[in-house]
Structure 1
Amino acid sequence: MEREIKELAYQLGADVCGIGSINRFEDAPSGFSPLDLFDKCKSVIVLGVALPKGSYEVPPRLLYSHFNNKAFTVLDEIEFKLAKELEEKYNCFAVPVPPNTPYEYWDVETLTGKGLISMKHAAVLCGLGSMGKSSLLLNSEYGNRLNLGAVLTDLELKSDDLQPDICIPECSKCIDSCPVQAIADKRVNQKLCRMNTYSKTSKGFDTIDCNKCRTVCPVRFGKEL
């Protein structure tokens, strides 16, 4: 069944697909566990769509910004279709989780937002990679270029193996290159990051003005294990 689910995810456009039992999520913070969204959840399926390598070779303000958002739209559609296919094929419940927005938690003082679940942590627990010093997911094939989404299901599925850490121990390029020193201890000060990163054109289009933590990473395009 697990293989069939992954093949379906790939057919729908996912670049990666990982599966984890709900038991792996026991340490999820209260309010942000898959079980807080769907109390019948027994397995989590995480999907990833990779940005083109070329999007890292140009200034981020317009091109990277546009297609970073496009990846979330693609993930929305893949999740929605996958959930419907799972329910039809396996007579189960499947709950697609928005890969980006909307979410409920917002701290206006610190400009901290939290997704319904942490997609990056879910990806680690579903065998899709390890966490970098920048708090970005590092995948052996796609580096840090994956945008992530998830589907929760009451199917009991076998977990994928967890992956080794590919973050280079002595490397601190993401930390050192951050223009506002927002990165420390695998955490990001969202207020500093948001104020430096997000803006608008004079026409009102949303922009991303900084993605250095992604583009300076030595394993941004993946790493052979």
Structure 2
Amino acid sequence: MKEEIRKKVLDLGADVCGFANIDRFIDAPEGFHPCECYRDCKSAIVIGFALPKGLFEVKPDLMYGHFNNLTTPEVDKITMSTAKIIEDSYNGVAVPIPCDAPYEYWDSQKMEGRGLISMRHAAVNAGIGTLGKNTLLINEKYGNRLTIGVILTNLELGSDDFAESICVDGCNLCIKSCPAQAINEESIIQKLCRNNAFGKTERGFDTVVCNKCRTVCPMRFGQSD
């Protein structure tokens, strides 16, 4: 059943799909455990949708910013469709989680937001990748280009194997290159990052001013064959 579901998810347009049993979320912070979203959750289905490599090779303000924003509804569409497959074809209950907004947690002083669950930690738990020093998810094939979505279900699906880290030993380029010095190897100081990373054109279009922590990473495109 798990492999059937994985194939259907990939057929919907996801680039990767992984599975994590609820036991893998034992260290989730209070308030952000999957069972606090859906109390009967037994498994998480985690999907990843990759941005094109070319968007990492250009000035980020308009092109990267525009298409990066478009990945959120694309991922949400895939997770909604997957939830319907779980319920229609496998007699389960499935809860798609918004891959970004809306969320409830916001610390206005720190300008710190948190999703309903941590997408990147769910992806780690599902064997999709590991966390780099820039705190971004890094996948063996797609580097740090993945946007993550999650479906919670009451089906017992079992966990995929954990991924192995592909971070380059001794590399600190993401930390050294951050113009706001917002990376400390354990977390991102969101206030520093947000104030430096985003802007607007004179007409009011949203822009991305900085995505250096992604583009300077030697593994941004994954591990070459």
Give the TM-score range, shorter chain. Answer: over 0.9
Residues 34, 41 of structure 1: 8 Å contact kept: yes
- The CA distance in 1 between the partners of 2:112 and 2:82, in whole Å, is 30
Contact 2:175 2:185 in 1 (8 A): no
Report the TM-score when normalising by structure 2.
0.98
Q: Deviation of residue 154 (structure 1)?
A: 0.2
Aligned residue for 2:89? 89
1:32-90 CA-to-partner distances (Å, cap 9, x unmatched) read 01011000000001110000000001111000001101111110100111101110001
CA contact (8 A) 2:21 2:43 kept: yes
Asked whether the equivalents of residues 14 and 48 of structure 1 are also in contact (C-alpha less than 8 Å), the reply is yes
* One-letter amino acid of the counterpart of residue 174, structure 1: C
Amino acid at match of 1:26: I
Which secondary structure state, in structure 1, belongs to the residue aligned with residue 204 of structure 2? coil
Normalising by the residue count of structure 1, what TM-score does the alignment of the two structures yield?
A: 0.98
Contact in 2 for aligned 1:142/1:221 (Cα 8 Å): yes
Correspondence for 2:125: 125
Structure 1 SS opposite 2:218: coil
- Correspondence 1:27 to 2:27: yes
Distance (whole Å) between structure 2 residues aligned to residue 20 and residue 185 of structure 1: 25
Give 3-state SS (helix, strand or coil) of 1:184's partner.
coil
- Letter paired with 2:121: H
- Structure 2 distance, partners of 1:96, 1:142, is 23
Matches within 5 A, 1:212-223: 212-223=212-223
Identify unmatched segments of 5+ residues in structure 2: none
Could you say which residue in structure 1 is the equivalent of 2:138? 138
The Cα shift of 1:186 comes to 3.0
Match of residue 196 from structure 2:
196
Structure 1 unaligned blocks of 5 or more: none
Residue of structure 2 equivalent to 1:103: 103
The code of the aligned residue for 2:123 comes to A
What is the rounded CA distance, in whole Å, between the counterparts of 1:37 and 1:174 in structure 2?
Answer: 33
**Does structure 1 conserve the Cα–Cα contact (< 8 Å) formed by 2:19 and 2:159?**
yes
Give distance in 1, aligned partners of 2:132 and 2:80.
Answer: 29
In structure 1, what is the equivalent of residue 153 of structure 2? 153
Distance 1:152 1:80 in 2: 11
Please state how far the C-alpha of 1:204 moved relative to its aligned partner. Answer: 1.5
Match runs of 1:29-44 below 5 Å: 29-44=29-44
Q: Is the 8 A contact 1:132 1:186 kept in 2?
A: no
Aligned length: 225
- Cα distance, 1:185 vs structure 2: 2.0
Shift of 1:172: 0.3
| Distance across 2 between alignment mates of 1:75 and 1:51 | 11
Deviation at 1:158, TM superposition (A): 1.6
Structure 1 residue 208, shift from structure 2 partner? 1.0
Match of 2:80 in 1: 80
Which residue identity lines up with residue 98 of structure 1 in the other structure?
A: P
Distance 2:218 2:185 in 1: 18
Q: CA RMSD in A?
A: 0.9
**Pairing 1:113–2:120 present:** no
Letter of the structure 2 residue corresponding to residue 60 of structure 1? P
Q: Distance in 2 between matches of 1:126 and 1:63?
A: 30
Q: CA deviation at 1:2?
A: 0.8
Q: CA deviation at 1:161?
A: 0.2
Once residues 21 and 101 of structure 1 are traced to their aligned partners in structure 2, the CA distance between those partners, rounded to angstroms, is 24
